[in-house]
């Protein structure tokens, strides 16, 4: 199809803003920069067709979404999402899947609106490029290695051995506010001397009245709201681990272990003596950490008893325990390391299914459920005693709860906090610096500096340095483009009218690149818009030095038109003198009257629109579908979020000739074809990308 045929004739009704545009000489209209909305009238008074329609699509529906200014965008689909080895085999039960499978065979076009495509689309800035495989690498298809761990708040590096033992959070004094996740600061508070405590001996007074609090400077939350104060201004993490909300102290895991060891040494027998005193504390509340530890030691005892021959096995493991292996599991892990058996197929435990009993006491990990939650219910119903808030305001929101760190000091189900008074300061999650490797050739793609505070990279192969960038602008030629409908909302494309966009491809590499574009004739998905690429094949000059370009400026015209002729697929008419060529900054509008009179006929088929040092622009023409009419016809509900954005899937294939690596034929590289002549090697890269052109107006 030829875009020229679709262009309507000159329309006399030019709006003010258009004329002003011509006077300033800018020929491209940026949708985001348009000065004023032509009209704000509601569609129902100007559009009688809307009223006749029986379906309940109200004007409210049409303008429901806030009209944020739209910026055209480009997303690139990483080719790795096509390489799923399981895609063909998985039985696809859905009808949708079956119909898609039929298309899948060869003629498979990419649908940016499909539910899955959001997971494989990336902006160019997020992509890397493997120089050896000549392939785009997305965050999903790189192998990562950790360079260092650090706290994003204090920027201290954490050694990797601490990650396993201390967990994934900062163990210094870095905390986030549980209400607003702002950073918390340690502040000193002056506590008025308590007369009772003055009377009491000094030790008791000083040990319990902390004088440091955590406070949020953003929402004024402070740890006094949960009844926690600290003795020291440093190592808050350790102090907090020992405190429950309300200031009550609790044993940490290490202390508990020591205490248990004492008990065991006193009681001697271990299991039997613990059950004896386990009788009375059957309803004591274990916190999660304790229960897990108790369960673990209980099971380990049981398993070692069952696997070993009764008492002897237990003694043996106890003897080993004195040597530094406190758990039989650790022994078996070491054994398995040296014998090479995998831990999941532990032969020993498989061949001899041991007998073990269930846990009977809290010391063994059994915890009776206290189902009586009336205290919490009354707490919910009563006004919060301190703050005077009602039930809604005194409960924590779902997002607040989800950002809480798991608190092991609470008993299992009661640990799921509900009230804001039971929230705890969130210790900062540590972060990592990672280096990335190509999963195939194992070459490093990105490697940051190992120091925490530097943002520099040693190696960083980003895709923007290898594949052309695409920028999109709407093309408005005064006199050729019909004026928009008067009631069109701002920043939108008119449905059912051809609109033209200029795509500018900028070449980052030092070889000239030949680009082939392809797009489905109509966009896939619910709202099929017609798409025509006016010049699907073209060449971009190499990214040479700027000065070189300036020196060559005189004869640049002839060379570029030749190269365009070579690339143009549409045959002889491209070679004529009318072949459009615009050099860099030179605009015909300002150049003189000749271009205005003779050549201002709009974009031509098969011709490059504009061309510069390392960039080439082409024109793409779309006829957007009518959203409202289609939505009424197909009965699939109202227009969803972002469904009004005109998105075009485009298959981009770029070819270039690169310096061949000296006589090195790399195995398994499909993209690098061994077509060598004179040290040059032909390379190609192909991928899908998605162009977001603009919002289609929800009129008509």
Partner 1 sequence: MSASLPHRSVANIRAPTPSSRSGSHRERESSSHRDRDRDRGERGDRDHSGTSTPTRPIPTFNTPSSLRAEEELIVIDFGTRKVQVGFAGDSAPRGVVWFGPEQQRRIGDFRDWQTDYQQDWRSKAAGGNWGRDYELWRPDVRGLELGQVGDKVEKAVREAYTKYMLIDSRPRRMVCVVPTGLPIPLLSAALDSLFHRFQPPTVSLLSSPVAVTVAAGVRSALVVDLGWNETIVTSVYEYREVASKSTVRGGRKLTEETHRFLAKELGHVQQDNKDDKQEYVLSFEECHDIANRLVWCKPFKAEKTPKSSPPQPASPEGEGLATVEESDEDEPTTTTTTAGEKPLPPPPKVTTVPIRSGRSPTSLELTFDQLSEPCENTFFDSQYSLSSFDDHETPVHLLVYRTLLQLPLDVRALCMSRIIFTGGCTTVLGLRKRIFDEVSHIVQERGWDPVYGKAKEQLRTNPKLKKRNGRQTTMNNNNNNTSTTPGGVSPPTAGGAAGEGTAAPPGQEEDGIWHDAANSVPEVDPIEAQLARTNPSPNSRKPLHGQLRAIESLGPWAGGSLITHLKVPTVSTIDKDQWTQHGVTGATVRAADVEAKTQQRLSWNAMNRGGREGKEPWTLGVWGAA
In the range 400-419, which residues lie near partner 1 by CB under 8 A? 401-402, 406, 408, 411-413, 416, 418
* Of 310, 571, 572, 577, the one binding partner 1 by CB under 8 A: 310
Q: How far is the CB of 143 from partner 1 (least distance, A)?
A: 5
Q: Cβ closer to partner 1: 107 or 358?
A: 358
Residue whose tokens read 């003198």? 577
* Of 8, 37, 97, 152, the one binding partner 1 by CB under 8 A: 97
* Of 345, 388, 594, 668, the one binding partner 1 by CB under 8 A: 345
Q: How far is the CB of 120 from partner 1 (least distance, A)?
A: 8
380 binding partner 1? (CB under 8 A): yes
Q: What is the DSSP letter of 596?
A: I
Chain positions 212 to 271 lying near partner 1, rule: CB under 8 A, are 271
Q: How far apart are the first and last CA of the chain?
A: 25
Of 685, 526, 694, nearest to 134 (Cα)? 685
64 binding partner 1? (CB under 8 A): yes
Q: How far is the CB of 699 from partner 1 (least distance, A)?
A: 17
List phi, psi (to 5°) of 437: -125, 155
CA distance 443 to 439: 8
Question: How many Cβ atoms sit within 10 Å of the Cβ of residue 576?
Answer: 10
Residue whose tokens read 């065991």? 264
Q: Cβ closer to partner 1: 99 or 559?
A: 99
Of 204, 203, 228, nearest to 214 (Cα)? 228
CA distance 470 to 130: 20
* Of 198, 369, 594, 597, the one binding partner 1 by CB under 8 A: 369
Q: Cβ closer to partner 1: 241 or 360?
A: 360
* Of 343, 450, 454, 557, the one binding partner 1 by CB under 8 A: 343
280 binding partner 1? (CB under 8 A): no
57 binding partner 1? (CB under 8 A): no
143 binding partner 1? (CB under 8 A): yes
List phi, psi (to 5°) of 473: -140, 145
367 binding partner 1? (CB under 8 A): yes
Report helix, strand or coil for 75: strand
Residue whose tokens read 């920028």? 471
Of 298, 700, 188, 301, nearest to 486 (Cα)? 700
456 binding partner 1? (CB under 8 A): no
Contact 448, 457 (CB under 8 A): yes
84 binding partner 1? (CB under 8 A): yes
* Of 29, 70, 110, 122, the one binding partner 1 by CB under 8 A: 122
Stretch that binds partner 1, among 9-17, 326-334, 511-519, 665-673 (CB under 8 A): 326-334
Stretch that binds partner 1, among 21-29, 47-55, 396-404, 514-522 (CB under 8 A): 396-404
Of 566, 500, 565, nearest to 534 (Cα)? 500
CA distance 582 to 28: 14
Q: How far is the CB of 652 from partner 1 (least distance, A)?
A: 18
118 binding partner 1? (CB under 8 A): yes
Chain positions 662 to 681 lying near partner 1, rule: CB under 8 A, are none
The residue count for binding partner 1 (CB under 8 A) is: 125
* Of 192, 340, 577, 592, the one binding partner 1 by CB under 8 A: 340
Element (H, E) at 288: helix 288-307
| DSSP string for residues in 174-239 | -EE-TTT-PBEEEEE--PPPPHHHHHS-HHHHHHH---EEEEETTT--BGGGGT--BSSSS-HHHH
* Of 21, 111, 225, 364, the one binding partner 1 by CB under 8 A: 364
578 Cβ contact list (under 8 Å, min separation 6): 599, 604
341 binding partner 1? (CB under 8 A): yes
Is the torsion defined by CA of 502, 505, 506, 512 positive or negative? negative
Q: How far is the CB of 367 from partner 1 (least distance, A)?
A: 4
* Of 40, 106, 107, 358, the one binding partner 1 by CB under 8 A: 358
Burial of 432 (0-12, 13-18, 19+ CB in 10 A): middle
CA distance 376 to 411: 14
Report helix, strand or coil for 676: strand
Q: Cβ closer to partner 1: 406 or 667?
A: 406
373 binding partner 1? (CB under 8 A): yes
165 binding partner 1? (CB under 8 A): no
User: What does DSSP say about strands 492-493 and 680-696: parallel, antiparallel, or unpaired?
Assistant: parallel
54 binding partner 1? (CB under 8 A): no
CA distance 307 to 691: 64
333 binding partner 1? (CB under 8 A): yes
Q: Cβ closer to partner 1: 122 or 505?
A: 122
Q: How far is the CB of 381 from partner 1 (least distance, A)?
A: 5
292 binding partner 1? (CB under 8 A): yes
Chain positions 590 to 619 lying near partner 1, rule: CB under 8 A, are none
* Of 96, 191, 206, 235, the one binding partner 1 by CB under 8 A: 96
Stretch that binds partner 1, among 221-229, 333-341, 523-531, 619-627 (CB under 8 A): 333-341
* Of 167, 183, 524, 525, the one binding partner 1 by CB under 8 A: 167
429 binding partner 1? (CB under 8 A): yes
b/e 103-125 (16+ beta carbons within 10 angstroms → b): eeeeeeebbbbeeebeebbbebe
144 binding partner 1? (CB under 8 A): yes
199 binding partner 1? (CB under 8 A): no
CA distance 693 to 472: 7
Stretch that binds partner 1, among 18-26, 36-44, 329-337, 538-546 (CB under 8 A): 329-337
318 binding partner 1? (CB under 8 A): no
Is the torsion defined by CA of 313, 319, 323, 324 positive or negative? positive
Residue whose tokens read 């201004």? 233
Q: How far is the CB of 613 from partner 1 (least distance, A)?
A: 28
322 binding partner 1? (CB under 8 A): no
Contact 130, 137 (CB under 8 A): yes
Q: Cβ closer to partner 1: 247 or 314?
A: 314
378 binding partner 1? (CB under 8 A): yes
347 binding partner 1? (CB under 8 A): yes
* Of 187, 275, 440, 512, the one binding partner 1 by CB under 8 A: 275
Of 171, 245, 63, 114, nearest to 525 (Cα)? 114
List phi, psi (to 5°) of 225: -65, -25
Report helix, strand or coil for 295: helix
Q: Cβ closer to partner 1: 266 or 342?
A: 342
């Amino acid at each position: 199809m030829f875009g020229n045929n679709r262009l309507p004739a000159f329309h006399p009704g030019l709006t003010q803003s258009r004329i002003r545009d011509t006077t300033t000489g800018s020929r491209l209209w940026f949708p985001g920069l348009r000065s004023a909305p032509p009209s704000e009238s509601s569609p129902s008074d100007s559009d009688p067709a809307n009223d006749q329609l029986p379906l309940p699509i109200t004007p409210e529906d049409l303008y429901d979404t806030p009209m944020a200014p739209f910026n055209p965008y480009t997303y690139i689909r990483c080719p790795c999402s096509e390489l799923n080895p399981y895609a063909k085999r998985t039985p696809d039960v859905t009808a949708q899947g079956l119909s898609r499978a039929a298309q899948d065979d060869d003629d498979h076009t990419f649908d940016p609106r499909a539910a899955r495509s959001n997971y494989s689309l990336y902006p160019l800035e997020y992509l890397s490029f493997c120089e050896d495989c000549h392939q785009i690498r997305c965050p999903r298809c790189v192998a990562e290695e950790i360079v260092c761990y650090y706290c994003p708040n204090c920027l201290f590096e954490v050694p990797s051995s601490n990650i396993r033992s201390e967990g994934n959070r900062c163990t210094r004094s870095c905390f986030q506010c549980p209400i607003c996740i702002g950073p918390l600061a340690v502040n000193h508070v002056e506590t008025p001397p308590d007369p009772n405590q003055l009377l009491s001996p000094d030790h008791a007074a000083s040990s319990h009245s902390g004088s440091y609090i955590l406070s949020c400077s953003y929402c004024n939350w402070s740890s006094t709201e949960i009844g926690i104060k600290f003795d020291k201004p440093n190592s808050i993490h350790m102090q907090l681990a020992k405190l429950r909300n309300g200031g009550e102290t609790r044993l940490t895991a290490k202390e508990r272990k020591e205490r248990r060891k004492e008990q065991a040494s006193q009681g001697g027998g271990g299991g039997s003596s613990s059950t004896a005193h386990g009788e009375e504390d059957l309803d004591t509340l274990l916190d999660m950490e304790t229960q897990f530890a108790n369960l673990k030691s209980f099971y380990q005892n049981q398993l070692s008893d069952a696997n070993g021959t009764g008492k002897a096995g237990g003694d043996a493991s106890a003897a080993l325990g004195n040597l530094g292996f406190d758990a039989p599991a650790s022994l078996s892990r070491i054994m398995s390391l040296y014998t090479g058996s995998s831990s999941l197929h532990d032969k020993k435990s498989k061949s001899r299914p041991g007998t073990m009993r269930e846990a009977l006491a809290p010391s063994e990990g059994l915890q009776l459920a206290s189902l009586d939650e009336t205290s919490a219910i009354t707490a919910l119903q009563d006004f919060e005693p301190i703050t005077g808030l009602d039930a809604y305001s005194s409960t924590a929101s779902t997002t607040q709860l989800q950002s809480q760190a798991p608190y092991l000091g609470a008993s299992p189900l009661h640990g799921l906090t509900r009230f804001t008074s039971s929230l705890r300061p969130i210790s900062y999650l540590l972060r990592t610096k990672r280096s990335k490797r190509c999963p195939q050739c194992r070459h490093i793609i990105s490697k940051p500096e190992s120091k925490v505070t530097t943002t520099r990279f040693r190696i960083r192969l980003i895709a923007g340095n290898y594949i052309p960038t695409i920028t999109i602008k709407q093309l408005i030629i005064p006199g050729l483009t019909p004026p928009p409908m008067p009631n069109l909302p701002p920043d939108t494309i008119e449905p059912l009218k051809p609109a033209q966009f200029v795509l500018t491809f900028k070449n980052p590499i030092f070889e000239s690149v030949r680009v082939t574009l392809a797009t489905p004739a109509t966009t896939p998905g619910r709202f099929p818009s017609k798409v025509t690429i006016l010049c699907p094949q073209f060449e971009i000059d190499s990214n040479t030095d700027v000065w070189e370009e300036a020196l060559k400026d005189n004869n640049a015209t002839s060379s570029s038109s030749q190269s365009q002729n070579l690339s143009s697929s549409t045959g002889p008419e491209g070679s004529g003198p009318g072949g459009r060529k615009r050099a860099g900054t030179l605009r015909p509008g300002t150049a003189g009257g000749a271009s205005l009179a003779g050549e201002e006929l709009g974009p031509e088929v098969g011709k490059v629109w504009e061309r510069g040092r390392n960039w080439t622009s082409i024109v793409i023409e779309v006829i957007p579908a009518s959203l409202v009419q289609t939505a009424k016809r197909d009965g699939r509900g109202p227009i969803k979020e972002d469904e009004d954005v005109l998105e075009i899937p485009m298959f981009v294939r770029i070819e270039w000739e690169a310096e061949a690596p000296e006589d090195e034929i790399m195995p398994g590289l499909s993209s690098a074809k061994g077509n060598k002549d004179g040290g040059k090697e032909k390379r190609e890269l192909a991928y899908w990308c998605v162009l977001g052109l603009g919002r289609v107006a929800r009129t008509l």
